[in-house]
Amino acid sequence: MFIGTHYHKLDEKSRVSVPKPFRSDLAHGSVIT
């Protein structure tokens, strides 16, 4: 479970950046809705 407030940015290709603390958890697969 991800708890907290994180602000995101879109890059030039309209991709959302993932906050660094979440990257290792998401590396095993995820679904974002």
Write the pLDDT tens digit of every residue in 3-26.
777 777 888 998 888 777 777 777
The residues spanned by each domain of the chain are 1-33
Block residue for tokens 């590396």 = 27
pTM for the full model? 0.38
DSSP string covering 1-33: ---S-----B-TTSPBPPPHHHHHHHTT-----
**Integer Cα distance of 26 and 12 in angstroms:** 22
pLDDT score of 18: 78
Is 31's pLDDT higher than 70? no
